[in-house]
Amino acid sequence: MDATILMPLSLDEAVDALARDPRALPVAGGTDLMPRVNAELVRPSALVGLAKVADLRRWGYEDGFAMLGAGLTWARLADADLAALVPALAAAANEVGTAQVRAMGTLGGNILASGRPADSLPVLAALEATVSCRSPGGVREVAPHLLEPRSGPIAEQLLRPGELITGVRVPLLRGVQEFVKAPVGAGRYLTLALVAGPVVGDVRCAVGGAHPGPVRAFEAERWLAGRMDARSGRLSDARDAADFGRLVADEVRPEAEQRAARAHLRHVVAVCARRAVQRAFGG
Amino acid sequence: MIGESTPRPDGDAKARGRFSYTGDLWAPGLLWCVLVRSPHRHARILGVDAGAAYAVPGVRGVVTAADLPAGACHGAIVADRPVLADGVVRFAGEAVAAVAAETLQAARAGAAAVLVSYQPLEPAVDPEHAFAGPPLHPDGNVLRHIALRHGRPVRVRRDGTPVEEVVVEGLYEVPAQYQANPATDAALALPSPDGGVELHVATPYPHADRDQVAECLGLPAGMVRLMPTGAGGSGGSREDVGLTTVVGLLALRTGRPVKAVLDRDESLRAGGHRHAARMKYTHRADRDGRLLAVEAQIILDGGAYAGVSPEVIGRLIGCAAGPYMVPYAAVDAWAVRTNNAPAGAMRGPGAVQVCFAHEAQMDKLADALGMDPVELRLRNALSTGTMLTTGQVLDGPVPVGAALRAVAEAAPPAAPPAPGTLRGTGYAVGLMPLLGIEGADESSTATVRLDGGVVTVTCAAVEVGQGFVTLVRQIVDEVLGVPDAIVLQAGTALPTAGAPGVGRHTWLTAGAVEQAAREIRERLLAPVAARYGMTARLLDVRDGRIRSYDGLIDLPVDVMYEDTATVTTAGACRAPSTEPLDDAGQGNAYPAVAFSACRVVVDLDPELGTIRVVDVTGAYDAGRVLDPAQARVRVESSVAMGVGLALTEDAESVWAPPGPWDVPQVRVAAWIEEPQPGAPFGAKGLGDAAIVPVPAALAAAVRNATGLELPRLPMRPRDVVVD
């Protein structure tokens, strides 16, 4: 590889380096990018190493939101303090790859990873979190759940050339958060994040691994919200969980080449959704 | 010391990423080589135009079949595979041309610019169709067929009453399996001043590769020198001789060093994987569960070229009935040429596939008889003095019953099944013929030199990750009391150490080292012993001291060396002689057979079809455990490979190797240490036998949990959903 390697020491330097050369790529843990660079699937003119940018690894509160730096590793996101803040993200972190990948792989890198996103993005979409994309001109907040999950790589919709993901802004919710992950063969996974907010009737559900982006099941969410008892927040019927699962599967329609594989994926989505509801609401 | 765990000399460097593989080698003026591969499974080559490739800046050479001597073919047994496709391509990924350029990028651009015009032909991808279809190669489509016929059908009991038969049948399929050696095939060639070429390749078998490369290049063998380099693992086949030849040819043409390293995708398409198998079995037993007959038809997909397929058939045929006494066997096994990538040898070649089938049959039989599956196996287990269906009487240790009992009696996993999952337990036993078979001339040599207390061992055996260097050091320590022998890999400068794998170097090369070391010991200890009126046999060398049996003599080990400056001896070890199998598959074809048993416990999520392997407990016919840590590594890697074949590696889809989360801790219920006569320290190779029952036991466990038939691997989540 003939690329230049830059090691900026601050966020501003990193953003400037990326803005100067739109073909440069940022690299943090490198668990997803470096294999692609080595196989020449991507040919960046420069790599901007983020290891020395401490600002990317910070986190904090900001009026009802948790600000998580893009450089936080999976291992860090699974720690007890962050797990208490955003339980679904910690649950997702615990099911990523091997210990080595969790030690190196970062939140920002996962948002931009190749393939069908199945780890952080469905959680962020369910939480209605926003991703902070920074360029020398300023910061743009993008909400993954408002993108077009079925129309091509989500990273391209999310980030403009020359921008750097600096972190995510996650609303702090008092409700329940569930994350379910299931292998479906050939190294592929389906995931489902379910969030039941502090207000009765606030239910959000996103599916990962089914399409190029995380897919929200808005109609199924509304249906489930309507089945919740206005005072207790409980579901009206024990069969609601299974019905919700079928509705989510119908709405999400995971993609696969073969019909048999497609049928299995729909079945898995339905089971994951049912289980998430059962865990969240009991029963 | 033998029997103790010793750290591997290459372990630390490999774990830290500092080990130097072939791909890391460099020479001044190095050119990179990239192959042009066929996108078609079967096509006629109408022409190759390299003009545009030469126009790519940095390209220094392009070669095609026309640059090689006519009919330059290679092959482990039959030379039927062209170095570069000549007139016709027979699998997608077959090399058609090769480009050498100043940089890897230029070589890739050059390879992309080579214009090959193809006329696509109908591919034969199903071995059952290729079997009777038009020949894909002048040698025909059947690579080998053995029609094993053994014994006589049992129809009446001793008292003359007819036997009441229980019959079970099944059709089974095992897919191809990619070895995924951590470092892919690679080669570095340096032109020599004499017009020859020096090849640096991580091959486990330098002599055979050297001879084939020389033949294909039209050079005398002496002008091709082959130096083994650091191998990045070997699951069986390693290093494509075609690639080595092409790199050598480009070095000769350009007069510059040339290097090629396959990328993972090329490596996946280039062949050398485990044979895909389709197997039809009929088992007959009496009401007491005694096997009466095994009938089977087995087809292996050999791929486009013969490779080692004939030998794999030779191994498979003796394993096809399993480690059981079978009075009548009729087994037909074929290896068939197809337009798939040529198959190679992967750990447990042939035996893994048939074990999946015969063990499924044993479980079906147990079910039909209402018998415990372990009890049924014990009732039919082979033992010393019994006969394989090849007619060979087993005279070595045959601990089938002991191994099976050990895993069956081992404590089950303590943790209860996870909520909502179904737990299943499965058993399997397998056997594996070791060393070269059917009259292969099996011998190996080694030179041991002792100079002022420093021992240097030189041998042509290659460390490919099997732990051979550690073993040699342990032997020298055991015999001469010198713990840190230097082990030199001689490449083709010494006589051959023979075809690697299936426990060969553990037996033969280690045997040669042991013999040479013992001779030195006798020679050096004799004068010491004579001083005390003893023979050398009564002295023991251990922990840097020479002690006599009665403890009266206790001297520092240095006294051995004080009178002699240097001693050099050579040792040789030969395997028990064998003969080729006859037309009916009969003959003493195997120098030795090893056995292993395995119990697998799984928790299955019946809704999602996800399988968690909770526990793998094995028992292994080791002869003797020379190094417990190394033995564990062999067993653990075999379990990981077996889990991959059974669960994750779907040849029809994206290749997904097993990850650490797929493989549990492996428990060893027993190392069965009945010494193998004739083998150094009585030890047998472990890796091949260890993998054999793993996929079979895993499938049995999933069947036990689900009640599904599951006749083919891998068991994908959607295959095991229970609604």
Answer yes or no: is pLDDT of B378 > 90.
yes
To the nearest whole Å, the CA of B639 is away from the closest chain A CA by: 18
The verdict on A36 touching B (C-beta cutoff 8 Å) is: no
Query: What's the CA gap between B282 and B707, in Å, rounded?
Result: 20
Closest chain A residue to B104, measured at CA: A1
Query: What's the CA gap between B395 and B422, in Å, rounded?
Result: 43
User: What would the pLDDT profile of A35-52 be if each residue is shown by its tens digit?
Assistant: 888 878 888 999 999 999
Query: What's the CA gap between B443 and A172, in Å, rounded?
Result: 72
Q: Nearest CB to B660: which of A39, A98, A268?
A: A98
Instruction: Find how far residue B473's CA is from the centre of its chain.
Output: 23
Closest chain A residue to B661, measured at CA: A98
Tokens found for residue A211: 């399409």
Nearest to B649 by CA among B599, B591, B715: B715
Chain A residues close to B660, C-beta within 8 Å: 98
Domain ranges of chain B: 23-122+185-265, 276-437+580-719, 443-574
For helices B351-369 and B373-380, give the axis angle rounded to 10 degrees: 110
A181-190, A196-205, B363-372, B467-476: range with highest mean pLDDT: B363-372
Predicted complex ipTM? 0.88
The verdict on A271 touching B (C-beta cutoff 8 Å) is: yes
To the nearest whole Å, the CA of A184 is away from the closest chain B CA by: 6
Q: What is the pLDDT of residue B95?
A: 95
Report, as an integer, the average pLDDT of B607-618: 95
The CB-side HSE value for B640 (13 A sphere, CA atoms) comes to 17
Query: What's the CA gap between A221 and A206, in Å, rounded?
Result: 10
Q: Nearest CB to A185: which of B108, B659, B717?
A: B717
Nearest to B178 by CA among B648, B712, B690: B648
Query: What's the CA gap between A196 and B527, in Å, rounded?
Result: 87
Chain A residues close to B105, C-beta within 8 Å: 2, 40
B276-437+580-719 matches B23-122+185-265 in CATH topology: no
Task: Count contacts between A and B (CB, < 8 Å).
Answer: 46
Set out the domains of chain A in order of their start, with CATH numbers: 4-49 (3.30.43.10), 55-171 (3.30.465.10), 176-281 (3.30.390.50)
| Amino acid identity for residue A160 in this structure | R
> Of residues A230 and B591, which shows the higher confidence score?
B591
Query: What's the CA gap between B347 and B237, in Å, rounded?
Result: 9
Q: Report the sign of the C-alpha dihedral through residues B403, B405, B410, B412, in that order.
A: positive
Nearest to B595 by CA among B665, B664, B674, B667: B674
Q: Nearest CB to A264: which of B263, B650, B718?
A: B718
Answer yes or no: is pLDDT of A1 > 60.
no
Tokens found for residue B173: 């399929």
Q: What is the pLDDT of residue B598?
A: 97
> Of residues A12 and B443, which shows the higher confidence score?
A12
Q: What is the pLDDT of residue A131?
A: 96
To the nearest whole Å, the CA of A271 is away from the closest chain B CA by: 7
Query: What's the CA gap between B689 and B431, in Å, rounded?
Result: 6
Answer yes or no: is pLDDT of B637 > 60.
yes
Q: Is the Cβ–Cβ distance between B385 and B395 less than 8 Å?
A: yes
Q: What is the pLDDT of residue B241?
A: 87
Q: Is the Cβ–Cβ distance between B523 and B571 less than 8 Å?
A: no
Chain B residues close to A40, C-beta within 8 Å: 105, 108
Class of domain B443-574: alpha beta
Nearest to B322 by CA among B579, B645, B696, B578: B696
Which residues from B are below 8 Å from A when comparing CB atoms? Answer: 105, 108, 263-265, 607-610, 648, 650, 653-654, 656, 659-661, 716-718, 721
Interface contact A187-B264, CB threshold 8 A: no
B209-213, B472-476, B523-527: range with highest mean pLDDT: B209-213
User: What would the pLDDT profile of B649-682 be if each residue is shown by its tens digit?
Assistant: 887 777 888 888 889 989 999 999 999 888 888 8
To the nearest whole Å, the CA of A72 is away from the closest chain B CA by: 23
User: What would the pLDDT profile of B511-561 be if each residue is shown by its tens digit?
Assistant: 888 888 888 888 887 877 778 777 777 777 777 778 877 777 788 877 777
Interface test with B, best of A181, A192, A268 (most B CBs within 10 A): A268
Report, as an integer, the average pLDDT of A22-35: 91
| Residue B191 pLDDT level (bands cut at 50, 70, 90) | very high
The CB-side HSE value for A59 (13 A sphere, CA atoms) comes to 19
Report, as an integer, the average pLDDT of B399-413: 96
Interface contact A98-B659, CB threshold 8 A: yes
Which residue in this structure is represented by tokens 């050990």? B406
Nearest to B613 by CA among B665, B577, B656: B665
Tell me how far CA of residue B694 lies from CA of B373, B645, B701, in angstroms.
16, 9, 11
Closest chain B residue to A267, measured at CA: B608
Tell me how far CA of residue B500 lies from CA of B71, B469, B588, in angstroms.
27, 14, 21
Examine residue A26 and say whether the peptide bond preceding it is cis (omega within 30 degrees of 0). Answer: no
Pick the CATH number of B276-437+580-719 from 3.40.50.300, 1.10.132.20, 2.40.30.10, 3.30.365.10: 3.30.365.10
Q: Is the Cβ–Cβ distance between B234 and B217 less than 8 Å?
A: no
User: What would the pLDDT profile of B564-591 be if each residue is shown by its tens digit?
Assistant: 668 888 877 778 889 999 999 999 999 9
B623 three-class SS = coil
Pick the CATH number of B23-122+185-265 from 3.50.30.40, 3.30.70.1400, 3.20.20.120, 3.90.1170.50: 3.90.1170.50
Tell me how far CA of residue A151 lies from CA of A99, A145, A147, A154, in angstroms.
33, 13, 9, 8
Q: First CA to last CA across chain B, in angstroms?
A: 56
Q: What is the pLDDT of residue B500?
A: 66
Nearest to B50 by CA among B120, B124, B101, B125: B101
Q: What is the pLDDT of residue B310?
A: 94
